[in-house]
Amino acid sequence: MAKKKSYRQHIFYDWCKACGLCVAFCPKQVYRRNEEGQPVVADAAKCVGCRFCELHCPDFAITISAVDAPSRSAAAHTAQTSIEEAADER
Ligand code: SF4
Ligand code: SF4
């Protein structure tokens, strides 16, 4: 079975104006608001990577990244290896 993907939430507090949109739009209650109204990650494991928080932040203060996702160069290497293996089998 495929391993469940994990995601990391990066919050850039210098840009955050504490509007709360990210907290309101997250369907999994990953965030809670601190005393200043800014988001803090309450439960990162619930994140499904939908990026609603990132897309709705008016100040580009949140980014989501997949954890343990193969890098593009690793994926390209895998693709190249498959091509070479296929060529060897001919
Ligand atoms: S990517 Fe989706 S599930 Fe994850 S924190 Fe953002 S809104 Fe919530
Ligand atoms: S949507 Fe953006 S600006 Fe608003 S609270 Fe969330 S991170 Fe801060």
Q: Whose CA is closest to atom 2 on ligand 1?
A: 50
Burial bucket for residue 61 (CB in 10 Å: 0-12, 13-18, 19+) = buried
**Taking CA 87 as the corner, what is the angle to CA 83 and CA 90, rounded to the nearest 5 degrees?**
145
At 68, is the pLDDT very low, low, confident or very high (cuts 50, 70, 90)?
confident
Q: Is the pLDDT of residue 45 over 90?
A: yes
Which ligand 2 atom sits closest to the C-alpha of 38?
A: 5
Please give the class, per CATH, of domain 6-88.
Answer: alpha beta
Q: Is the pLDDT of residue 14 over 90?
A: yes
Query: Is 30 a pocket residue for ligand 1 (Cβ < 6 Å)?
Result: yes
Name the pTM for this structure.
0.76
Domain boundaries, the chain: 6-88
What contacts 63, CB < 8 A, 6 or more positions away? 9, 10, 12, 54
Q: What pairs with residue 39 in β-bridges?
A: 33
> With pLDDT > 90 as the criterion, what percentage of the chain qualifies?
70
What pLDDT score was predicted for residue 7? 98
